[in-house]
């Protein structure tokens, strides 16, 4: 059975976006890119909410990014993608399918299908929706060495305690720490 992974970068105080959707504080370097390439090689489907999709489609297919970051850009542009949105009219990024409703049902069906694992990148609203019912098999949270003071929290709207188990961690030279969690039963 395919697993659903989540990958997000957060500040030490738990925000995945700063005010006005600012992500300029993301601590990205060559070591991070090595991790990103390996992660993208381990999946065959990228999942996004509308907001993250719109940011990604404006960034990854551009000639400047393809030239400056060809390894990650090639994978981002070629992998199959699903954008979950009730408001988006169409998905124009190469190899992208739009799903407008029944997100949980779609995820359950995808998990039963063939293929490699799937990963949600960013997309805090989708992460918050799929975490309580236990549909995310592994949370990969990269803590950046920064305190923002305000922003958009990753697990916004989750009102019940959910116990997680740390399964692995990795410290990066940059000060980032990658934490791998799974939900306890």
pLDDT at residue 47, as a whole number? 97
Neighbours of 92 (CB within 10 A): 10
Q: Tell me, what DSSP letter sits at residue 19?
A: G
Largest alpha-carbon pair distance within the chain? 45
Q: Which residues of the chain have pLDDT under 70?
A: none
Three-state secondary structure call for residue 154: coil
pLDDT at residue 131, as a whole number? 94
H or E, element range at 65:
helix 63-68
Domains in the chain (CATH in brackets) are: 4-183 (3.40.430.10)
pLDDT at residue 183, as a whole number? 87
pLDDT at residue 99, as a whole number? 96
Encoded tokens for 93: 């990024």
User: Is residue 160 packed enough to be buried (19+ CB in 10 Å), middle (13-18) or exposed (0-12)?
Assistant: exposed
* CA-based R_g, the chain, Å: 16
Three-state secondary structure call for residue 57: helix
């Amino acid at each position: 059975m395919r697993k659903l992974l989540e990958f997000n970068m957060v500040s030490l105080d738990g925000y995945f976006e700063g005010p006005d959707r600012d992500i300029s504080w993301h601590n990205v370097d060559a070591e991070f890119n090595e991790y990103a390439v390996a992660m993208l090689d381990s999946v065959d489907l990228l999942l996004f909410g509308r907001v993250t999709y719109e940011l990604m489609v404006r960034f990854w297919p551009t000639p400047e990014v393809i030239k400056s970051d060809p390894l990650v850009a090639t994978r981002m542009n070629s992998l199959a993608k699903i954008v979950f949105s009730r408001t988006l009219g169409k998905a124009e990024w190469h190899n992208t399918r739009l799903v407008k409703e029944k997100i949980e049902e779609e995820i359950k069906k995808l998990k039963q299908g063939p293929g490699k694992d799937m990963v949600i990148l960013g997309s805090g609203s989708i992460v918050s929706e799929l975490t309580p019912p236990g549909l995310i098999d592994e949370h990969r949270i990269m803590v950046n060495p920064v305190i923002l003071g305000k922003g958009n929290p990753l697990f916004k709207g989750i009102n019940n305690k959910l116990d997680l188990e740390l399964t692995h961690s990795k410290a990066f030279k940059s000060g980032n720490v990658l934490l791998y969690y799974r939900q306890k039963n």
